[in-house]
Structure 1
């Protein structure tokens, strides 16, 4: 066995779950957004936000994405809004608070324990008609 293979085997199983990696990425981008004081820092932070949402949107649109259709549509709506807002903010002095707030919501959702049931959004008394997609305004 080669050194590389042995090191790989030693490290396998000692990784972070994908949800935690995604939450860490949103925390990093929020840190950049909240600390951006200069024009250059602002541009870098907004570019990082665009890149993060772009990667997330690519994953959502894959045919093998395990998320349910409603969640995929909701994330697409939020991601599109966030990317559009970031593009506007690149060329203006628009506040970054809305982006930080959306990213905080994503961090909270990713940090929460996944539901124990296989049907997201469902409760014991709710029917499938009770599912609603979120709607972004602004």
Structure 2
């Protein structure tokens, strides 16, 4: 019975949630994962850091792929800005993944970027 209710809720959420709301929620999820690693730096493992960075990287890879498609409805300038931000995220992620001793403060830029883009998608 509980499972059916949860499935019904998920189906309704998919119908009600706009693509912008979904993108915003995913960016906030990625930011929260990175923030958690930063907040718990002394007890976080490198596997947890890698998982959070890889989730964020995959998300931005999807965004970059979407905006570089010819049929993207976004204006060219917006598409270019998103692609540039995506490349910045990729570079920051690469640096964090390959640093011998990464520092928690280096996650700040990724967390803030995701939060700001998410807020913009929500129209805040």
**Rg larger in structure:** 1
> What corresponds to 1:74 in structure 2?
81
Q: How many Å separate the matches in 2 of 1:68 and 1:45? A: 30
Higher relative contact order, structure no. (Cα contacts within 8 Å, ≥ 6 residues apart): 2
Per-residue deviation at 1:81?
0.5
Pairing of 1:49-60 with structure 2 (within 5 A): 49-60=56-67
Please identify runs of 4+ aligned residues in structure 1 that moved more than 6 A: none
- Say which is worse superposed, 32-41 or 64-73, in terms of deviation: 32-41
1:63 aligns with 2:64: no
Structure 2 unmatched ranges of 5 or more: 1-7, 38-43
Q: How many Å separate the matches in 2 of 1:49 and 1:24? A: 12
> What corresponds to 1:33 in structure 2?
34
In structure 1, the residue corresponding to 2:50 is in which secondary structure?
A: helix
1:111 aligns with 2:87: no
Name the TM-score, length of structure 1 as normaliser. 0.70
Per-residue deviation at 1:17?
0.3
**By percentage of residues, which structure has more helix?**
2
Per-residue deviation at 1:12?
9.8
Q: How many residues align?
A: 105
Name the TM-score, length of structure 2 as normaliser. 0.77
